Structure 1
Amino acid sequence: MNLQRPSTIFYGWLVVAAAFVITFVGFGSAYTFSAFLDSLQHEFAASRGSVSAVFSLAGFMYFALGIVSAPLADRLGVKALSAIGMTLVGLGLILAGQAQTILQVYAAYCIGIGVGVGCAYVPTLGAVQRWFVERRGLASGLAVSGIGVGTLVMPPFALWLIADLGWRNAYTTLGILAIVVGLAAAFVMEDEPGCRGLQPDGIARTMVVGSLQAGNDTPVGQAIRTRRFAGLYLASFLSALGVFVPFVHLAPYAVDHGVPASAAVWLLGAIGIGSTIGRFFLGGIADRMGRESFLIAMYIGMAASLPTWILGGSLSQLILFALIFGLFYGGWVAILPAVVADLFGARHAGRIIGVLYSSVALGTLVGPGAAGFIYDRSHSYVIPIAVSAAANAGAAAVMFLAARRPSAGRVSRWSQSIPPD
């Protein structure tokens, strides 16, 4: 097979840039929730547990819907699914600004942001995996770094809008921006390099027969019955129980400890900074050290960092926690899709990621909401934080045990299929 690299910029990097914007808009909009939590509590006279459950339900929706959105993307194309998703995110924000009851806020977040991100996220990640093989960890990390940058930029921006326009008009403004920017990125997306006569990693295809990934793709039904997938699924569920607790409760925790609300919201920005560093720079390291080993290290890092939250009472201590936690969280999000593509091949990666993320959906549904209700009863975050750390330690142990037995027939460390156990 005669392969050559094109002289112009590889379109896969434009796909990565578009995925960055889509994750920035989708997750950045979702993570503005902490900036609105106080306003929603006061407006609807709701408890912290009931309001934080809004985030949990929306998170459940956008991770769980990957099971549906990935097959739909195979039929309709990632461009169409991303456009639909970004439109729904914007409409959800606008409707949240019009809500007259807490139940209407639930509906706006779940149907709008939850379904919207669910439509766009997994198909976008699946497309990125198909555009790269050797640089898959780096590309995946750059694509999802939009989540980290969105976490850094959007909550403080939302707080500024709330102060200037009020919380209802702030939601409307964010919704319009989400639609305009999100649609622009969606129309840049492309399903796979073959659509442009290319192979993964920017190699021009000049011969019809052959593919860098031929023979390495495991069908979805076969993949989900393997021991490796079971390990990934359980580890992802355990980790998600605790990973998203800080996104909802770190700012209120800081306010409870005397930090002004205007400063506390920047703690999410600190998570975003750490997360962005993790996604930008750790993905390349994972490509060199082995992506499964790297994933285990991320679980250990999150488990070790979460207890330092309990020890933090001052703003500086909480910022340090947020940066360190964000670093490992960003590395986890960046590398998980790449590990799926490594183990089962890129062709069906989107569908397999969609099934896998149902575990993250379940953990997201339970974790932040349960933490809020435990706080309402105990007036302390000690138990939720301790459980979150233990769950991530358990995730590391599960992944280590699942990876101990090498799978037969492994083709390469980048792209291979796993025979059924």
Structure 2
Amino acid sequence: MNAHRQRQGIFYGWVVVAATFTLTFVGFGSAYTFSAFIEVLQQDLGASRGSVSLVFSLAGFLYFALGVISGPLADRFGARSLCLVGMVLVGFGLALAGQARTIAEVYAAYGLGIGLGVGCAYVPALGAVQRWFVARRGLASGLAVSGIGLGTLVMPPLATWLIAALGWREAYLVLGGAAAAFGIGAALLLENDPGRRGLRPDGVFVEPGVVNSAAKEGVSVKDAIRTRQFVGMYVACLLSAVGVFVPFVHLVPFAVDHQIAPTVAVLLLSAIGVGSTAGRFCLGGLADRLGRDTFLAAMYAGIAVSLAVWAFATGLLALVAFALLFGLFYGGWVAVLPAVVADHFGRRNVGGIIGLLYTSVAIGTLIGPSLAGFIYDASHSYFPAIAISGGANAVAALVAIVTIGLKSRTAAEGL
């Protein structure tokens, strides 16, 4: 009975959620400002749209691929130190990007700074959240990563305003300083294991002397990757990521190409942020009630439908509708995916398993936005790239339905 008594006061798991929210706001908000810089980088550095788009693809590849290293390190040593390093790198990367004189220097500063920085912080912070919750895992994950949605809402317009007021170089310097300050403060609040506070997930208090084995529950990374569920998750994530990051780079240039003013076009990224924030806040809890496996497949299908809307949108209202719809499903996908991983494979090595899974997203991110840019350079149209993106997500939904939602689980439902 003692192991089931609740501790009074605020459950520290919600502090971990708040810290992860701030980290995702800073990291991904900084990354998603890139669309606001595309035009000025093209003009000042004399680069093509495809080569400029590759900057974002490189950063995205690195911050998802690095999770395969940062996740296991966080499982072993804790998330706090890795997130501290990550936020310092994000700040330096943005500041150094403002000093770049060639597109190659932007690759090095922004690509490596944002890529390595977010890569150090994202998976460790997500893994920490999974360890603090079971029954409300979808809700907690959704709230934690809603920082991405809010960052997408706030940061691109802020970057556009800074570029207009100060110039793009000074804008990067200001963004870098703010990212480091807020990110480091959030990282200091992270804690990896509820057992260190005498707790089990969801705030269940363990009396002194009672063995708390929560941190040992779950399967090894080696055993997880041999399962049909993990393979299905990997393939679905890879397919989805080919298309899901294309709007973050190309939606603003697409809108400008359709005679929408740049200051208005950048607000479409904010609309994605509105939809994404709603998806993370509202849909994460809904997934807990409806079933997280089925919900994940529905998110892939929703992304595919929204990209089909984009393919035929030309006016501002249609693009706003696309941005809101896409953001909703994108936010739901990001919110529920870590929870699905923890459901199937437990909490012991959740950081390492998420990190390995996200290498699929890294590959898709490297391919998608840059490929879309080069397709545009060759055809002067985004339609083929958008069609490929939507089709890939439709196939991802089918893969998820067939492979992930199986009755036999590798780990027990309560892990």
Aligned to 1:411, the other structure's residue is in SS state coil
The superposition leaves residues 134-177 of structure 1 with CA deviations (integer Å, 9 ceiling, x where unpaired) of 01000000000000000000000000000000000000000000
Decide whether the 8 Å contact of 2:79 with 2:192 is kept in 1: yes
The structural deviation recorded for 1:324 is 0.3
1:74 CA displacement? 3.1
Q: Where does 1:156-305 land on structure 2 (aligned, <5 Å)?
A: 156-206=157-207, 208-209=209-210, 213=214, 216-305=217-306
TM-score (norm 1): 0.96
User: Which residue of the partner structure matches residue 41 of structure 1?
Assistant: 42
SS in 2 for 1:374: helix
Aligned residue-pair number: 414
Number of the residue aligned with 1:340: 341
Partner of 2:311: 310
| Aligned amino acid, residue 203 of structure 1 | V
CA change 1:409–1:256 in 2 (3 A) is closer
Cα drift, residue 314 of structure 1: 1.2
Residues 114 and 409 of structure 1: CA distance in aligned 2, closer, same or farther (over 3 Å): closer
Secondary structure in 2 aligned to 1:395?
helix
User: Shift of the alpha carbon at 1:192?
Assistant: 1.4
Structure 1 unmatched runs, 5+? 416-421
Residue matched to 1:372: 373
Give the SS at the match of 1:133: coil
Q: For residue 104 of structure 2, what is the aligned residue in structure 1?
A: 103
Q: Does the CA-based 8 Å contact 1:213-1:345 persist in structure 2?
A: no
Secondary structure at the counterpart of residue 134 of structure 1: coil
Supply the AA of the counterpart residue of 1:175. Answer: G
CA 1:132–1:21: 2 relative to 1, 3 Å: same
Matched, 1:72 2:70: no
CA drift at 1:75: 3.9
SS in 1 for 2:29: helix
- Name the residue aligned to 2:404: 403
Deviates most, 193-202 or 290-299: 193-202
Shift of 1:212: 8.2
1:83 is matched with 84
Corresponding residue for 1:356? 357
Output one character per residue of 1:226-265: Cα deviation in whole Å (capped at 9) or x when no partner: 1110000000000000000000000100000000000000
Which whole-Å CA distance do the structure 2 matches of 1:408 and 1:322 have between them? 36
- Aligned-residue offset at 1:76: 3.5
Q: Deviations over 1:103-137 (max 9, x none)?
A: 00000122210000000000000000000000100
**Maintained 8 Å contact 1:32/1:154:** yes
Checking the alignment, whether the CA contact within 8 Å between 1:66 and 1:119 is kept in structure 2 is: yes
CA distance in 2, matches of 1:215, 1:143: 23
CA deviation after TM superposition for structure 1 residue 199, in Å: 1.0
Residue type of the alignment partner of 1:97: G
Q: Which residue of 1 aligns with 2:20?
A: 19
After superposition, residues 137-156 of structure 1 pair within 5 angstroms as 137-156=138-157
Letter in 1 for 2:224: A
| Per-residue deviation, 1:207 | 5.6
After superposing the two structures, state which structure 1 stretch, 73-82 or 400-409, moved more.
Answer: 400-409
* Matched letter for residue 385 of structure 1: I
1:193-228 Cα shifts (integer Å, max 9, x gaps): 111111111111116446585885011110011111
Q: How much does 1:278 deviate?
A: 0.2
Q: Could you tell me how far 1:311 is from its partner in structure 2?
A: 1.7
Q: What residue ranges of structure 2 are gaps of 5+ in the alignment?
A: none
Q: What is the distance in 1 between the residues matched to 2:226 and 2:183?
A: 36
Say which SS state the counterpart of residue 412 (structure 2) adopts. Answer: coil
Identity of aligned residues (%): 63
Distance 1:347 1:264, change over 3 A: same
Superposition deviation, residue 316 in structure 1: 1.3
Query: What letter corresponds to residue 26 of structure 1 in structure 2?
Result: G
In structure 1, distance between residues paired with 2:377 and 2:401: 36
Native 8 Å contact 2:74 2:124 kept in 1: yes
Per the normalisation by structure 2, the TM-score is 0.97
2:29 is matched with which residue? 28
State the Cα distance separating 1:182 from its structure 2 match.
0.5
Letter in 2 for 1:144: V
Deviations 1:19-52 (A, max 9, x none): 0000000000000000111110001111100000
- In structure 2, the CA distance between the partners of 1:409 and 1:396, relative to structure 1 (3 Å rule), is closer
Residues 68 and 359, structure 2, Cα contact 8 Å, conserved in 1:
yes
Do the aligned residues in 1 keep the contact of 2:75 with 2:349 (CA within 8 Å)?
no
| Cα distance in 2, alignment partners of residues 410 and 67 from structure 1 | 21
User: Deviation string for 1:314-335 (max 9, x for gaps)?
Assistant: 1111011000000000000000
Q: 1:215 to 1:181 in 2, by over 3 A?
A: closer
Q: In structure 2, the residue corresponding to 1:201 is in which secondary structure?
A: helix
Give the deviation of 1:77 after TM superposition. 2.1
Partners of 2:51 and 2:190 in 1: CA distance? 37
Q: Distance in 2 between matches of 1:388 and 1:216?
A: 38
Amino acid at match of 1:239: S
Secondary structure of residue in 1 paired with 2:205? strand
